Amino acid sequence: MGFYQDRILPWLTHLAMRQAQLVPYRTRVASGATGRVLEMGIGPGLNLPFYGSGVEQIIGLDPSPRLLDIARDAGRTSMAPLELIEGTAEAIPLETASIDTVVTTWTMCSIPDIDRALSEARRVLKPGGKLLFVEHGRAPEPSMQWWQDHLTPPWKRLAGGCHLNRPIAELIGNNGFAVEDLQLGYMPGPKPMAFIYEGQAAPR
């Protein structure tokens, strides 16, 4: 599992997340970021081209050194200064109230302790800061939830801990955020993996 996790999975993640159909989501989320930005789970840096001129600095956090190497290359053309940190979202190595915007894109599904990670995101945000997110998660239909619940255990082993059935908006709301501007719906693809939560949340 170590070889798969360290060598194969980062390459598969990079390949899968480069899909053109994800670009509109990335564009909307990243373009809303301002100030000092923390991207939790920056991966190979696929959001970097979409950050706007209002971003002063991007701090990319990810547990995978191989994905961070790819992000470092991508960051050479970034408009804003880029700092990359190898670490986990459950223990963000930043000062309290030091970030203007936290960005997550297809990240919350695979964080082992998502409650702790969201609490950490809230901690590092300044008063008036915002969490911008686009994530896949639990669908509204009971029949689709059944499939997500049954597919998640084997899928987690193949996809780096990815959960298909996390209720993203509920998790954000239960960890000190007020969810705003939430958009829900399916994107093209296998339906158990394609129910999307897109929106913004503010620390309460």
51-106 pLDDT, tens digit per residue, is 999 999 999 999 999 899 999 998 888 889 999 999 999 999 999 999 999 999 99
Phi, psi of 126 (to 5 degrees): -70, 160
Residue 35 has pLDDT above 50, yes or no: yes
Residue 19 banded pLDDT, cuts 50, 70, 90: confident
Q: Kindly report the average pLDDT of the chain as a whole number.
A: 92
Give mean pLDDT, residues 99-127.
97
Query: Contact 150/121 with Cβ under 8 angstroms?
Result: no
Query: Contact 97/72 with Cβ under 8 angstroms?
Result: no
Strand blocks (E) in the chain: 35-40, 55-62, 82-86, 99-105, 125-136, 177-186, 195-203
pLDDT at 9: 56
For residue 187, what is the DSSP state?
A: P
Q: Which fold has domain 2-203?
A: Rossmann fold (3.40.50)
